[in-house]
Structure 1
Amino acid sequence: MTDIAQRSPQVFAPALTPFNADLSVNSEAFIGFCRWLVSQGAGLAVFGTNSEANSLALEEKIALLERLAEAGIPADRMIPGTGLCALPEAIALTRAAVALGCAGTLTLPPFYFKPASDDGLFAYYAQIIEAVGSDRLKLYLYHIPQFTGVPITCALIERLITAYPKTVVGIKDSSGNWENTERMLREFPGFEVYPASEALLEKALPLGAAGCISATANVQPNTIARALKAWGTPEFDALQAELKVVRGIFQAKPMIPALKHVVAKAFGDAGWDHVRPPLVAADASWAEGLMAELRDARFDMGAGQ
């Protein structure tokens, strides 16, 4: 496992995926956006929840990873989401990520067959690890039970890191349950625990959190990165307060359409409003209010035109 004391906390953005009007992936806009996120100090958790990952085909994901690598986006700044219900597809996507030199993979549990036992989930992760068969694989678990209905328990974490201590190195906790995040931080020192919200940094960092993997890192990556660097200084408190306000505004809206709408405005590209069904694009009934709230908060994405 990574010695957290040896490195600084990081922010990763589950990078939004832009679509054309026909709902095909706009790979050029995707590359440009990922390049911007990296320039702002964020790593890339591409194919995360807010990337609309489960609306993307396996072939699309592999092609986008390859396009990012060809464009010179540093692979060591990427931890793509590779968890899929079909085990062969999860293995194939994980292999592709490892082959490209990605820093790790963020791997959802299979979520269709419920209830899923810890034995079954252990077997799923073990099959991926054994099939990929590379000591370069660094696997991050992804706990988001409100979407998957399949929790990753502390007992399962213990079992996985005992069996694969150099491979299963961390977790993103998107449960929204601080008590759960705190328990992981306390029970597994040296295990990289990433809360899913920058609003939790003031509580998580003192316990050794590895940073955050946050939806709103898509729109305030630089402020989060600055806050992480300022941890332990008076500047952190001011930045944390700013981060909480913006996070709260987005959390009160349909998150993915809201993020895409703000990115569309910031980059002057209305195409960013496109989402794949069953999601629905930002609606004027709330989108105008969202922009007004952000203006009142003096929010500036800093993307330029």
Structure 2
Amino acid sequence: MTFPAPLTGVVPPVCTPLTPDREVDVRSLTRLVDHLVEAGVDGLFVLGSSSEAAYLTDAQRRLVVETVAGHIGGRLPLLAGAIDMTTPRVIDHVRSVAAAGADAVVVTAPFYTRTHPAEIARHFRLVAAASPVPVIAYDIPSAVHSKLPAPLVLDLAAEGVLAGLKDSSGDLAGFREVVTGARERPGVSGFGVLTGSELLVDSALALGADGAVPGLANVDPHGYVRLVRLCRAGDWQRARAEQERLCALFGLVEAGDPGRMGGSSSALGAFKAALHLRGVIDCPATAEPQVPLSPEEVERVGKYLASAGLL
């Protein structure tokens, strides 16, 4: 499909259902895609953090993109993460996911090696020059250990290198600078600014953001679609109430015991447990070496779903 400029609305970062032996569960993946599309989402993002992209083999990554692209058949824009440590490796992923059917790629700054902002800018320019599809920057300093400065993002937007930004930095002031610059800076047009926060979607849209990429939208896509529509209609009181309901539901990411597992195991395990409890996916397994939730922790997830009216 023709990639929209800018990309707007709710674009869930799609979880990757796995079988008990940690292979991609294609049947559950297509069922999850249907669950999201039927809720009215505006696009799909595979191979991001919520997709467990860092844990998947290259063959599994390609299978995910081919499966989702083939299933949606161009009905919605499909973004795919091309996330790796260095420019040559990212370019390999870009070519692979574009050939598999992605309409745009989502790319972080390089990581593992220490990089200067000039090197980060060069990275994005080289990736864009090699990419047959638009490139969206992914600002996630918690994972790559460097922040994308707003001036750098806006410079690359003005050059036509970047088609958008997915901001998972937690820096609302920096996010605002990008939103304002994308609106006011000469030479920047068709640049989509999306928040990756589950908890601040109403605030981000009030600042002028184009949309949201919330992992919790896997579990409750209808809630995020409602929230964005209320914001667009200017019904901020009802939007705030919906956002607060989703904030309460987001508490499920802390179901796991921090004494025996990391935050990723807890959050992704909770998303998948919730999808399993809702009958969307067959198995709640997360990729190794993440620690699975215990039966008691899964029961805790179920209580959050029940409180939110989802069971």
Q: Bin the TM-score by the shorter chain.
A: 0.7 to 0.9
Q: Does 1:144 align with 2:154?
A: no
Superposed displacement of residue 182, structure 1: 2.1
Cα 1:182–1:158 change in 2 (3 A) is: closer
Contact 1:76 1:101 in 2 (8 A): no
User: Partners in 1 of 2:227 and 2:59 — Cα distance?
Assistant: 36
Superposed displacement of residue 76, structure 1: 4.0
Residue 118 of structure 2 aligns to a residue whose secondary structure is helix
Find the partner of 1:244 among 244, 247, 266: 247
2:38 equivalent in structure 1 = 39
User: Partners in 1 of 2:48 and 2:254 — Cα distance?
Assistant: 17
Q: Does 1:263 align with 2:275?
A: yes
Residue 11 of structure 2 aligns to a residue whose secondary structure is strand
Cα 1:188–1:248 change in 2 (3 A) is: farther
Give the letter for the 2:145 counterpart: G
Any residues of structure 2 matched to 1:1-305 within 5 Å, and which? 9-42=8-41, 43-74=43-74, 76-99=76-99, 102-114=102-114, 116-132=115-131, 134=132, 137-163=133-159, 165=160, 167-189=161-183, 191-231=191-231, 232-233=234-235, 234-250=237-253, 253=256, 254-267=266-279, 271=283, 273-295=284-306, 297-300=307-310
User: Partners in 2 of 1:251 and 1:147 — Cα distance?
Assistant: 19
Give TM-score scaled by structure 1 length.
Answer: 0.85
Q: Which runs of 5+ in 2 are unaligned?
A: 184-188, 257-265
Contact 2:46 2:64 in 1 (8 A): no
User: Partners in 1 of 2:72 and 2:303 — Cα distance?
Assistant: 37
User: Partners in 2 of 1:281 and 1:85 — Cα distance?
Assistant: 27
User: Partners in 1 of 2:66 and 2:280 — Cα distance?
Assistant: 27
Runs (4 or more) in structure 1 with deviation over 6 Å come to none
Residue 176 of structure 1 aligns to a residue whose secondary structure is coil
Contact 1:75 1:102 in 2 (8 A): no
Residue 245 of structure 1 aligns to a residue whose secondary structure is helix
Name whichever of 214-223 and 55-64 sits farther off: 55-64
Q: CA RMSD in A?
A: 2.4
User: Partners in 1 of 2:77 and 2:4 — Cα distance?
Assistant: 16
Give TM-score scaled by structure 2 length.
Answer: 0.84
Contact 2:255 2:300 in 1 (8 A): no
Cα 1:131–1:264 change in 2 (3 A) is: same
Contact 2:252 2:267 in 1 (8 A): no
Write the deviation string for residues 100-154 of structure 1: whole angstroms up to 9, x where unpaired: 553422112221102x11121122111111123x4xx221111111111122112
Q: Which runs of 5+ in 1 are unaligned?
A: none
Superposed displacement of residue 3, structure 1: 6.6
Residue 79 of structure 2 aligns to a residue whose secondary structure is coil
